Amino acid sequence: MIKIIRFSLLLGLLILIVDSCNEPVINPKQDQPPQTFLTLFPDSIIAPGSTLKTIHWWGDDPDGFVVGFYFSFDSTIPVNQWTYTTKNDSTFLLTMNSTDTVFRFYVAAVDDKGLIDPTPASSLYPTINSPPSMSFVQGLDIPDTIFPVATFAFSASDPDGNNTLKKFYWSLNDTTHFKSFTVSQTVMTLTRDSGLVLNSSNVLYMKVQDNAGAYSPTVRMPRDSTKYFFVKNITSKILVIKDAPVNELNDLNNYLSSAMDTIHFDFLDIKYGSGKYIPKIVNPMFIATLKLFNIVMWFANRNGGGFPDNDPNLNLAQVSLPYYINSGGKVFWSSGFPNISIGQGNLFNFAQIDSIKTTCFIPLLLPNDTTFFWYNNLYPKLFINSNILIANTKGFFPSNGTNIIYKIYPRGNCTNDTINIGFENSAVNPNLMFLLMPIYYLNGNVENSKLFMRQLLINDFHYGSKK
């Protein structure tokens, strides 16, 4: 009897459950969107700071989980078009267009069902503009004496981001007449037309401006506030490059005063003071300086004497003379062979030389040696100075089409080989005379030295004419 009663109760309960499952659900619970939070409460008052901001946020979903976030600084854009990220923080560089600006940041969480927080979290971030800074590039200072071409290299930065830099400003010799140019340009060349004052001391002032209108402190070149750079005016169309060692400078000067006694020239001593007058920026400053002249005469040493510092400055010549010659300039090169054991024509990339003779050289030329002679009768015979010896003279193999001017008779270990030491790159209207021997040691006959210079400069290089 008891078992029958228990069975009846269980059967009734089962029927009740089945009936309840068939009844409709009233007001089912909807998916809830996530909520978003910032480390700062909305509209919290914080001190103005840098435009570089790191912002943190997080989200919470009551019936799922957060998969990402949308963020923006512009609430007018639909939320689903904001920037999306799965991270909980990011660093922003806020671009300012005024001295001080307040930015409002918005962020909305997204849950696993694609629901977006309808009330994004937001907060204010006041910022203050930091002024930019600029400086001249170290190691590229301008020499203290120059011809009227001056090249300056500089850089600038801004704590608010270098993309906020707007313009560079420069002024010569005062701080009241600044001119501007774009910040994409970090090298500037000034000339006489730019305002360089000739035969006078000059100074350059510069500063940079950012998008918010703030200026950097003004910097100057030269950096030392007590110094200036002197700008020499050009007084001739001939530039003499003095590349001779200090102990041979008197011989070079004596040669110039005798052989060019009626021909005026300007000069640049690139050996003096360990090269202090060589522009640190070769291209364009040094090349543009050469282009101020129609003719460049480059005089260097006889053979180095075992001291590399006495060698011709071939590095400077290689990166400047080809540009100068291609622009229409004319060059007379005269030097000994550099203090290296093997040399090829690429040492003199501005001259038409295939190679240098390395197996045959003249060990010694004495003052009374008359076997050095001229090959082209338009040029005079040259004689060694009475007070010097020339040792280890090398020759070269010229390229086709050159006009050989000077040779040395065979002797010593070169008994079967005449040595070429001088040529012009063309028999008609040449723009290069190359002599692989210092001509200031070939001044044994001063009248012939004068004839050489007149033939070269006036007849071949057309100095003083309009040709």
C-alpha to C-alpha distance for 206 and 150, rounded to whole angstroms: 14
Q: Are residues 162 and 223 in the same domain?
A: yes
- Residue 58 sits at φ, ψ, to 5 deg, of -155, 170
Q: What is the pLDDT of residue 341?
A: 53
Contacts of 259 (CB under 8 A, 6+ apart): 443, 446, 449, 450, 452, 453
CA angle 457, 325, 281 (to 5 degrees): 115
Residue 116 near residue 33 (C-beta atoms within 8 A): yes
Q: Quote the pLDDT of residue 19.
A: 52
Q: Is 466 among the domain residues?
A: no
The pLDDT assigned to 5 comes to: 45
Q: Is residue 1 part of a domain?
A: no
Q: Which of 165, 196, 231 is the endpoint of a domain?
A: 231
| Residue 342 and residue 438 share a domain | yes
Vertex 116, ends 112 and 119: CA angle to 5°? 140
Residue 24 lies inside a defined structural domain of this protein: no
Do the domain assignments include residue 156? yes
* 221 domain residue, yes or no: yes
Q: Could you tell me if 360 and 330 lie in one domain?
A: yes
Residues whose CB is less than 8 angstroms from the CB of residue 246 and which lie 6 or more positions away in sequence, other chains included: 271, 272
Nearest residue to 359 (alpha-carbon basis) of 397, 333, 390: 397
Q: Which of 231, 257, 279 is the last residue of a domain?
A: 231
pLDDT for position 370: 64
Q: Which domain CATH number covers 168?
A: 2.60.40.10
Asked if residue 206 and residue 66 are part of one domain, the reply reads no
CA 432 to chain centre: 29
Tracing tokens 């550099």 back to the chain, one arrives at 338
Write down which residue in 202, 231, 260 finishes a domain: 231
Q: Is the full-model pTM beyond 0.75?
A: yes
Specify the pLDDT at position 99: 57
Query: How many folded domains does the chain comprise?
Result: 3
* DSSP E strand stretches across 112-182: 121-128, 133-136, 145-146, 149-157, 165-172, 179-182
Is 23 among the domain residues? no
pLDDT tens, per residue, the chain with 467 residues: 444 445 444 445 544 444 545 555 555 567 899 999 998 654 445 555 566 788 999 999 999 999 999 999 998 999 999 999 999 999 887 776 655 678 889 999 999 999 999 999 998 888 877 899 999 999 999 999 999 999 999 999 988 778 889 999 999 999 999 999 999 999 999 999 999 999 999 999 999 999 888 899 999 999 999 999 999 999 999 999 999 988 899 999 999 999 999 999 999 999 999 999 999 999 999 999 999 999 999 999 865 556 777 889 999 999 999 999 999 999 999 998 776 654 455 678 999 888 777 666 676 677 666 666 677 889 998 888 866 666 667 778 888 889 999 988 777 667 666 788 899 999 999 999 999 889 998 898 899 999 999 999 999 999 986 55
Position 372 in a domain: yes
351-360 burial code (b ≥16 CB/10 A, e <16): bbbeebbeeb
Q: Is residue 5 part of a domain?
A: no
- 12 three-class SS: helix
Show the domain range for 165: 133-231
Whether the bond into 284 is cis, omega within 30 of 0 = yes
